[in-house]
Amino acid sequence: MSTLKRISARFKLGSTFILLALVVVWSLPTLGLLITSLRRRSDAEVSPWWDAVLDPLGTVWSTDAYQTALESGMLDALINTFAVTIPATILPLMVAANAAYAFTFLNFKGKEVVFSLMVGLMVVPLQAALIPVLRGMVWLQKAVDIQLTGTYASAWIVHSAFAMPLAIYIIRNYMLTIPTSLIEAARIDGASYYKIFWSLVLPLSMPAIASFAIFQFLWVWNDYLIAFIFVGQGSPVLTYELLKLLGQYGQGWQDVAAGAFISLVVPLLVFLGLQRFFVRGLTSGSVK
């Protein structure tokens, strides 16, 4: 019994078992989505997806659902989604990094009050501000003839504005872990605030920036409401195309499975590419 306990303690069998169980539970829906999208419609309508897992050789596999999804406009929607997501991820990070630097290393009157108000904006629900923001854009168009509604720029503005408080909060908490001696040494060497930000603080803050970039990319990529209201049907995104694939009576549910798997490939690649920054960027600054 003591040998078993030593082995369990060494390899942390309890924690490993729990983690494996969580991975299996979280992966089952994705596995079911993939198998459903690769089966013939006639088979998927009469038997559950795990029948194909139990008898893979006896299952007739087909890519008809993927062909239907791609022919329905998924490729154009993929381009539109990139056009909305990439700027809406970069813009708040650019502004938030500068603001976090100011809140961390610059001294000005009312800094803590302004920062508290900024963090407090995180509690404002996005849905409550949609109508005022939309009316403001319509008024701007009438006043100065600047067309925002129905364009990518309107989605960039809305996504960036509502992402800003959390981005500033995360990046500032990480910047607080940077030793002030480095900043003081750079100032003694004659570096300006701008030089210190770009050459010293920004490279050191990349884990926090990358971790928030993952969050923001996933939020914008999976968004339906803002893209539908501010961009519209003229440049539909993936989430809107998935709704069209479903059909009025839900008859295209297998095509939705294929389209959904196409839409999740890009966020998965982004997360896998930046995962080494993820935990480090979120946890740094939480304990000092």
Q: What is the pLDDT of residue 89?
A: 93
Q: How high does pLDDT run on average in the chain?
A: 81
* DSSP string computed for 145-201: ----TTSHHHHHHHHHHHHHHHHHHHHHHHHTTS-HHHHHHHHHTT--HHHHIIIII
Q: Per residue in 3-38, pLDDT tens?
A: 545 555 555 666 778 888 888 888 888 888 888 888
Through-space distance between the first and last CA atoms of the chain, rounded to whole angstroms: 41
pLDDT at 2: 57
| CA pair distance 105, 200, nearest whole angstrom | 12
Would the pLDDT of 269 be above 60? yes
Find the helix or strand (DSSP H, E) in which 22 lies: helix 13-38
CA atoms within 13 A on the CB side of 286: 7
Structural domains in the chain? Answer: 1-62 (no CATH), 65-285 (1.10.3720.10)
Structure tokens at 282: 């979120």
pLDDT tens-digit map of 196-225: 888 888 888 888 888 888 889 988 998 888
Q: How much is the pTM?
A: 0.80
Tell me: the pLDDT tens digits for 73-128? Answer: 788 888 999 999 999 999 999 999 999 988 888 888 888 888 888 888 888 887 88
